[in-house]
A and B are shown apart, each in its own frame.
Chain A
Amino acid sequence: MANVLVVAELLEGKARKTTLCAVTAAKQIAEGTGGSFDILSIGEGAGAAAEELAGYGAGKVLKAEIAGGYTCEKYAATVAEAGKGYDVLVACASAYGKDLLPRVAAKLGAGVASDISQVHTDGGKLSYTRPMYAGNMFGTVEILSDKQVVTVRQSEFEPAASSGGASPSEDVAVQTDAAADKVEFLGVEVVKSERPDLGDADVVVSGGRALKSADNFTNVIEPLVDALGAAMGASRAACDAGYVAPELQVGQTGKVVAPKLYIAIGISGAIQHLAGMKGSKTIVAINKDKEAPIAQVADYFLVADLFDTVPALTEAVKKL
């Protein structure tokens, strides 16, 4: 029997959807082992977020109000203390989860299975499958320590649906940590976008180095993105060149996405990029070079100059 604590991820006082993906994994672990799950709402606005998180079937929602910007040093001791009563701690393998949970695991002496794609509970025994080698290998791993710490790949766990009901909430004490005094949060530039989140969009349109400039992203890619109601992504090369912001990077070191439709424009398809998108249901490549490695994963390939083709595609989409 494994009792599970979900560590929620808050952004501006609201739970990010990543939290609900972690809830889904927690339910699988709890149901498969005859345990239960709770949620820890932590950060600025934890109280309000706890109310929002009360409708997902958790035994209770713990809350720890911590003001100011996030650093893992500020949160880890509180999460570890709250986690002492649980067998498994789960968060999404977002930048936040990958930053916070290993620190918590070290405090608890726990092993970490990170970025898992599947939970197994055969005979009540927990193991996890996770992508490795940029998605070219899947390993199944058991955690041998008393406590288990797990981060889950957002694209592999559907966000939990609200189940109604209201989990009771409970305050937990905020713990201090000497390491937290060594880091001063100076600020964050949060990128505001009206578009869907890259992590959970149904359609993603990504551009690569062949776009040649930030202006071309604005003038060529963005109209197609908006015509499709899509999220915009990019290859590492395009992010490095400064054509778009780094958080739009799709790949082994960026976001991993698995939308219903992924359109790769002017992206050759390095193995590190494929790692971030090859789980997409339908993949379209638009590229001048029909030998480009993106062809290994593309369902549809249009061999063409993107500057001629993409505006025409945008117009055609608008007419649908």
Chain B
Amino acid sequence: MKILVSIKRVADPDNASKLKVSSDGTAVTSEGLEWKMNPFDDWSLEAALRLTENASEKNARVGEVLLVSIGPNDEHTQRIIREGLAKGAERGILVEADEGNLDAGVVSAILKAIVDKESPDLVVMGKQAADGDSNVAGTKLAEELGWPVINSAMNILTRDDGKTLEVKRELDTGVATVKVTGPAVITTSDRILQPDSVQNGVTPDDHQYAKLEVGGRYASLKGIMQAKKKPIDQMALGDLGVDTAKSLNYTKFALPPARSGETTFVEDVADLVDKLHNTSKVI
């Protein structure tokens, strides 16, 4: 199985409260924040790696994972692709683009051009990027390819020798199960990191992965060494012949209003109930 995983660099999401707005109000500045792999992409990469390995034989690779990152061609984007290669992906593509010229429509057009060239069996993506929080690019890509999309997948089980996938996806009101015939786009939910989230027909079905608390697997030392030799193809937007006209234009950014008032440390339950009942009048 060949899987394309898109990975985006984002300003450190754990420190997003330190973001600032440029003096003219038209740009977000993330000075002082480290660039990190979008955590949602990291989870998708974990799913893709599980689908393409035999976990009972020291994670022997039995498929191919191709990473695609779109962004400035600099050390930060390259580092993030290397990080994915060190975790186990086979190769990377860096499509050079100024982040200000991208929106979900342009990203999906770029990814479509790469899918057309590479013919993966699956595209596994983060359902959103931790910066824009849009939840759009994966579904747009699927429609442009004429493929089905399964959003917020928590469980992916291959069936019929990998020709179909049985996927559980999270809804607001519960969990739906669908059977999808590939090629397809899948975006993942938080639960894709569960120890039994993936069955690929090679790794024994009862295999339990180690519990992952926050993100996907760590790279091994061997993986980091191997990643240095793995290829990263670099290409410019012009090489792909896609329509790069944006459909969104951000005119202004602002920080959220600060919460009014300070934190009151209450003494005990009686004090808390008194405050909620008599001061805030919410119970």
Show the binding face of A for B, using Cβ within 8 Å: 11, 18, 69-73, 76, 93-96, 98-99, 102-103, 105-107, 110-115, 127, 130-145, 178-180, 182-191, 199, 203, 228, 236-237, 239-240, 245-247, 249, 252-255, 260-261, 270-272, 278, 281-282, 284, 290, 295-304, 309, 312-313, 316-317, 320
Known pairs A299-B280, A301-B266; A141 contacts B130 (CB<8 A): no
> Which A residues touch B127, using CB under 8 A?
253
Task: Check A320–B19 contact: CB distance below 8 A.
Answer: no
Q: Is the interface of A mostly helix, strand, loop or mixed?
A: mixed
Known: A112-B136, A142-B248, A290-B265. 7 other contacts (CB 8 A): A73-B148, A132-B28, A133-B130, A143-B247, A186-B177, A240-B191, A261-B283
State in angstroms the CA–CA spacing of A76 and B174 once bound together. 21
B136 to chain A, nearest CB (A): 4
Known pairs A111-B105, A133-B131, A249-B190; A95 contacts B172 (CB<8 A): yes
Q: Which 8 A-B pairs have the closest CB atoms?
A: A111-B247, A106-B143, A102-B139, A136-B16, A140-B252, A261-B282, A186-B177, A188-B176
> Which A residues touch B174, using CB under 8 A?
188-191, 245, 247
Closest to A117 in B: B256
Task: Check A113–B248 contact: CB distance below 8 A.
Answer: yes
Binding stretch for chain A, among B66-74, B80-88, B231-239, B269-277 = B269-277
Known pairs A236-B190, A282-B280, A302-B269; A142 contacts B255 (CB<8 A): no
Select A76's contact among B143, B181, B265, beta carbons within 8 Å: B143
Select A240's contact among B133, B166, B194, B265, beta carbons within 8 Å: B194
Known pairs A95-B171, A282-B282; A240 contacts B190 (CB<8 A): yes
Closest to B245 in A: A144
> Which A residues touch B276, using CB under 8 A?
261, 282, 284, 300
Select A186's contact among B133, B166, B269, beta carbons within 8 Å: B166
State in angstroms the CA–CA spacing of A255 and B276 once bound together. 24
> Which A residues touch B253, using CB under 8 A?
137-140
Task: Check B272–A284 contact: CB distance below 8 A.
Answer: yes
Binding stretch for chain A, among B45-53, B91-99, B149-157 = B149-157
> Which B residues touch A111, using CB under 8 A?
103-105, 246-248
Task: Check A179–B148 contact: CB distance below 8 A.
Answer: yes
* B179 is an interface residue with CB less than 8 A from chain A: yes
